[in-house]
Amino acid sequence: MNRHTSTWIRDAVNTEIEMSSRIRLARNIKGVPFTHMLEDDEDLEALGGLVSKMLPGYSLASLDGLSVQDRALLVEKHLISPNFAKRGTRVFINGDEDISIMLGEEDHIRIQALGTNTTLEALYDKAGAVDDTLEEKIEYAFDEQYGYLTACPTNIGTGMRASVMLHLPALAATNKIQRFHNNLTRFGFTLRGIYGEGSEPLGSVYQLSNQVTLGFEERVIINNLSELKNRLIEEERMARQHLMTLDTLDAVNRSLGILQHAYKLSLKEASMHLSNVKLGLDLSYIELENFNFQEWFQLIQPAFVKERVNTEEYDSPGIAAESARAALMRELLGGK
């Protein structure tokens, strides 16, 4: 298993506001009970064998063979869901780590395509190509009237969830984000923290995604989402104009100074400072080469930090992690 960040995120140096996108398709096998009703692993094992043959370029990881830490790394890389890390069985990942197929998530099959500097359309084509390949040998649970049948009714229809990760520090600072969230919900979309449902937004990074999967074609949902995304980006740009103040210049530079010098950083604080530095770069208040907001934001997450911890040196794992996170920031930002 690759314990480093994925290629696609390492190359994501110059993104602004729009960070990355993701398409996820939920599919189930006709005539087989949904995952939570399965009495044994037989059906998923058979499915795993089939997918292995159909997708020869993918590496297969059995969740049984992965430690809690390995699973957490996959979650932070967005290759598996937090839910799948707890209860999943097998995951297929391509070489570039921008496509994953989870077997035995809430649905039998979940196909994900993700990436940066790309479009939802392109990702839908990618995920769709995998979907088409699998459909050659697998008969999906499909209803002429409703579409794809899924374990949870919120996914019935297209079975598609499209998401865009957005860096919205100005909207977050001015508390406009809550108003947008409320409006979006009424149109069947949602705006929430980047690491899955219910998580608190860190570093002003939000995930815009569709909630409604039924009654619209995939490309219609993607179009609507893209329009909302552009609207949000435009609003963020306008809000940033009002943030062009001495206070912001001061705050973003202090954040840089703290990241370059601190010896202890909680996830929450590091996220905030990284977000500030990114804003400072976007506003040309700061100049920095090789700053990679997306990758570094991933590297400060708990599992990635744990990879660097020498627990014996410290009183508690918490302190060891905060210390390792600070050392990483100093190293990446050229502090001492």
Return the residues of window 255-314 that contact a second copy according to CB under 8 A.
256-264, 314
If binding is defined by CB under 8 A, does position 42 make contact with a second copy? Answer: no
**Site size toward a second copy, by CB under 8 A:** 21
Measured from the CB atom, is 2 or 266 closer to a second copy?
A: 266
Tell whether 100 is in a known binding site: no
Tell whether 308 is in a known binding site: no
Tell whether 280 is in a known binding site: no
**Residue 262 C-beta: closest distance to a second copy, Å:** 5
Nearest-angstrom CA–CA distance, 230 and 18 = 9
Measured from the CB atom, is 83 or 253 closer to a second copy?
A: 253
Measured from the CB atom, is 37 or 246 closer to a second copy?
A: 246
If binding is defined by CB under 8 A, does position 109 make contact with a second copy? Answer: no
Tell whether 162 is in a known binding site: yes
If binding is defined by CB under 8 A, does position 128 make contact with a second copy? Answer: no
Tell whether 215 is in a known binding site: no
Cα distances (Å, whole numbers) of residue 240 to 17, 64, 244, 284, 331: 11, 47, 7, 12, 29
**Residue 245 C-beta: closest distance to a second copy, Å:** 10
Measured from the CB atom, is 261 or 268 closer to a second copy?
A: 261
Tell whether 255 is in a known binding site: no
Measured from the CB atom, is 82 or 335 closer to a second copy?
A: 335
If binding is defined by CB under 8 A, does position 242 make contact with a second copy? Answer: no
Residues that bind a second copy (CB under 8 A): 246-247, 249-250, 253-254, 256-264, 314, 319, 323, 326, 335-336
Annotated binding residues: 20-24, 78, 110, 161-165, 192-197
Annotated binding residues for ATP: 20-24, 78, 110, 161-165, 192-197
